Chains A and B, each alone.
Chain A
Amino acid sequence: MAIENALMAFPMASIWAVTLVLLPLAGVICCFLLPRISRTLGLFTSFANLISVSGLGWQLLEHGSYRHAVGGWGAPLGIELYADGLSLLMLATTAMVGFAISVYSTAYFKPAVGVRFWPIWLCLLTALNTLFLSADIFNLYVTLELMGLSAVALTALTGSKEALNGAMRYLLASLLASLSYLLGVVLLYHSFGSVDISLLTQQMQAPSATLAAATPAVWAALGLMGAGLMLKTAIFPLHFWLPPAHGSAPAPVSALLSALVIKASFYILLRLWFTLFEPLVDGEAINSLLGLLGCAAILWGSVQAIRQTRLKLLIAYSTVAQIGYLFLVFPLASNMGSVAWNAIAYLIISHALAKSAMFLCAGNLLRFGGHDRIADLDRVVQRLPLTAAAFALAGVSIMGIPPSGGFIGKWLLLETAIIQGRWDLVAVIIIGGLLAAVYIFKVIGYTFSPAQITHEAHNVSARMQWSALLLAIGAVLLGFLSLPVLSLLNISDATITSGVGL
């Protein structure tokens, strides 16, 4: 009954949520049926996706977070869709970044490659949207697998030897990760007879005999799922697959992978950690371990980025470093809704915008000069000013210098770290920012000076330049939007908790 009430109360939200799943799926099918107009279809779908997210967001703002049983079957039998502030922010980020990358891709891909790109990208979009709306761990597995396979296919798109190598590594890592995650799901299902996150959470938090009996299995599930998701998120030292994959994929694909795909697996980790596994991990050494990995990732990724001579690899290693910041949430946040939580959400969004802008810039520079060697950037600042500006603005956010989204995230993170007296983390955050400045200004410095050999310049379309620039401007403007963004994040569960569990 409760769910029917919920349905009656929020029919609009349901429509938008289901649209978010079905729309890109319909796009995939149409792209296969009508390959000639796949470009138009892809662009249209990603635009419609943007509108659907706004629709869902508007509903959530009005009515609070939302849960919907597809086909009228609720948990534990059917599939449920669930959306709160965090999922909304992830969906919105995906929609915005996805739309900008779609616009970019209409100019980037030649028709022969584009025919393959569009359906796979929409497939990835389907997977991402469904993932952010899923309320049970098995459904999450399905979307995770779909996402991984589409991402690998996109990486291999050009078919070059380098790309295939990168894609192969990526494929193996991705399969291993989802397998590990699946094993964890099986263990939990075996122990509790449910895969619904909120039902599981209730059972885990109940101080009853079931929990005591299940503890070894639950710990094993935690380890397996955690390891799988960490491998997918490419946290140090499980990042080995990321630089070759992100470095060799076509630029818009690298942008999708860095901005969205790794965030999706991190999102699952975050969700599980702070709901399901909360009673197990709260205040435990495992959180410190995750924080330690985060610190190592920040330092190692940044140092590797500084050492690179190729732009795309530099950006890829910068991603490795930036993921590290996200993992600092584990030692710093003991519950959802804290300042650390806000900081991480902010870092996720601003990194998505800034990093996708950077990869698109790299794509422009590759197209422009035919190479991405940093030392030969050759007066790009004058010859390709919009792209240079986009790179610099995105860099401001990555370095965490005000005014930018990255700064807001860093400020909030520093604030909690200082309040909790974690000076080690403060030092790593600051050093990470300085190292980021080193590798970003290394690139910017070369854009001013002439190279020894001037390469023949190729034309870069305005669309490609502007989509990169707008993403970067978005990352900077985020620095002034913290109040609205954080109020979206804190859309709470309060209104419909009664709807859970029939």
Chain B
Amino acid sequence: MNSNAWVPLLVVISSLLPGLIIFSLPEDKVRLRITLNLFGALVKFLLVGLMLWGVYNGYHYEIRLPLLPNLELVLRAGPLALLFVTLSSILWLVTTVYAIGYLENSPHRSRFFGFFSLCVTATTGVALAGNLITFLLFYELLTLATYPLIVHRGTEEARQAGKTYLRYTISGGALLLIGTVWLYSLTGNLEFTPKGFLTNMGEQHYPALITIFILLIAGLGVKAALFPLHGWLPQAMIAPAPVSALLHAVAVVKAGAFGIIRVVYEVFGVEFSAALGVLTPLAWLAAFTIIYGSLRALYQDDLKRRLAYSTVSQVSYITLGVAIAGPIAAIGGVVHLVHQGVMKITLFFCAGNLAETLGIHKISEMNGVGRRMPWTMAAFTIGAFGMIGAPPIAGFISKWYLGLGALNTGQSWVIFILAGSSLLNAVYFLPILHRAWFMPLPESWPEDHNFGNKETAWTLLLPPLITAVFALAVGLLVTLPFSPLEWAKLIAAREFYQP
């Protein structure tokens, strides 16, 4: 086994090991914990950088370990895997900084950061999984690692939210399991392959394959919050802000969306899926979820809940891009994985800042908050405009490619969905911005914490500013090599539509 094989495993271990050590640390070892966390995040970041460079230059990173007779645990760093790993390793670093500030002086931090690291480990595994059983393994690990974070506060409300979360995700996992075992007993293969591995299946298997497709997509759709499987997401908002940020931007919903990409492009193959006739219903479902999520977001006064419904809507752009079944739309869907990530994490960081600094949880309490916390609200504004799809912020690029891809494959109805969704996004984001910047300041804030002459602690302020800059940069610098868009084009060329 050459040395390249170990790199994907090391990437997984770089967050697993610090996590396990952190569990055993006493509560008051703050410095050691922070050092371990940042060290792990940094090592992961460097290793991912190495693989990015390597894959760009045509190196092959793959490790295979025996798991079952004839089935292996495969970690492989292809272009698509790296897109997701890069996103999660960067955002993990930022979120760790944020969480250190957010949870300062709160109890049970060893436990929190331990599970936080496990969560990232699972996400990394989901990204690097080279076959469906490895994917399943990390996908379930993700469920288990996020549960303690959702119930972290230990209140009755948190326990109920945790219960709802599990009801959805464990059932989803069970569907995914049936689909996977069935597929394996039908084909004897689970390896993610460019253009899928089912093209040789005879017509008599089509009904079974359609059922398997539905099982897999339903199992993944739970985490991807596809309607009607999205019910857990708004409830999971009970978790601390860094967790919401991570759940929404990187870990859970993205694992689901990423899985859908894998299943459509590298298990079934996009042409074979189209031949089975399963993609059009999926596109309609995604389109419906986009509109539905936006409509529900309109009626939420709780800021985090509005953002949660916005996530329901936005993540389905990825599924839509996949289901449109064309190279350009695929680029749009894949790149939205990154774009939605950086924009949504910014918004959640800002929401967390408002709650921590001024005790603001509701939109109706946000009058004039832009003057009290200008930097935070500036970051929020960038995120919000990005979500609406205003150029030159990241969200515009995704929508442009999605629309272009839809026209290219003759599905012009998608344009109306995109336009309608943008309109709705504007309707539920602009009033917030209006309130924050143009309404008069109230006489007092719900809970005013004083941070001297700063608007809030720097560990809380820095992360949203960084991610907001990212959101701008990926929109402005799209043509540079290694920009998410260029990388998505590389994925489409090398993995999805391999010559």
A residues sitting closer than 8 Å to B (CB atoms) are 342, 379, 381-382, 385, 389, 396, 399, 401-403, 408, 411-412, 414-415, 418-419, 426, 430, 433-434, 437, 441, 444-446, 448-450, 480, 482-483, 486
Contact = CB atoms under 8 A, between A and B. Distances in A.
A470 B144 CA distance: 19
A486 B111 CA distance: 36
A11 B144 CA distance: 49
Interface of B: 23, 65-69, 73, 107-108, 111, 136-137, 140-141, 143-144, 147-148, 151-152, 154-156, 158-159, 162-163, 166, 170-171, 173-174, 177-178, 181-182, 184-185
Contacts of B136: 402
Given A430-B178, A434-B171, A449 B68 contact: no
Contacts of B171: 434
A381 B111 contact: yes
B166 A430 contact: no
B165 to A, nearest CB: 10
- If over half of A's interface residues share one DSSP class (helix, strand or loop), that class is named, otherwise mixed; here it is helix
* Minimum-distance CB pairs A-B, first 5: A402-B137, A414-B181, A437-B170, A418-B185, A448-B154
Contact of A449 (B107, B108, B111, B159): B159
8 contacts: A381-B111, A385-B111, A401-B140, A430-B178, A434-B171, A437-B166, A445-B162, A448-B151
A122 B69 CA distance: 37
A430 B108 contact: no
B82 to A, nearest CB: 24
Nearest to B169: A437
Contacts of B156: 449
Contacts of B148: 381, 448
Contacts of A437: 166, 170
B255 to A, nearest CB: 14
A414 B151 CA distance: 32
- If over half of B's interface residues share one DSSP class (helix, strand or loop), that class is named, otherwise mixed; here it is helix
B173 A415 contact: no
A448 B177 contact: no
Contacts, number: 84
Contacts of A379: 154
B173 A382 contact: no
A475 B67 CA distance: 15
B69 A441 contact: no
Contacts of B108: 382
B140 A446 contact: no
Given A411-B68, A449-B159, A441 B166 contact: yes
A402 B140 contact: yes
Contact of B177 (A412, A414, A480): A414
A445 B174 contact: no
A419 B185 contact: yes
Contacts of B147: 441, 444
Given A414-B178, A418-B185, A396 B144 contact: yes
A441 B163 contact: yes
A477 to B, nearest CB: 13
A211 to B, nearest CB: 36
Contact of A426 (B23, B144, B178, B184): B178
Given A445-B151, A482-B67, 15 more contacts: A342-B69, A403-B141, A408-B68, A414-B181, A419-B185, A426-B178, A430-B177, A430-B178, A441-B147, A445-B159, A448-B154, A448-B159, A449-B154, A449-B155, A486-B69
B346 to A, nearest CB: 30
Contacts of A444: 147
Given A445-B163, A448-B151, A415 B178 contact: no
A363 B439 CA distance: 60
A20 to B, nearest CB: 29
Contacts of A419: 185
Nearest to A395: B144
Nearest to B153: A448
Contacts of B152: 448
A313 to B, nearest CB: 21
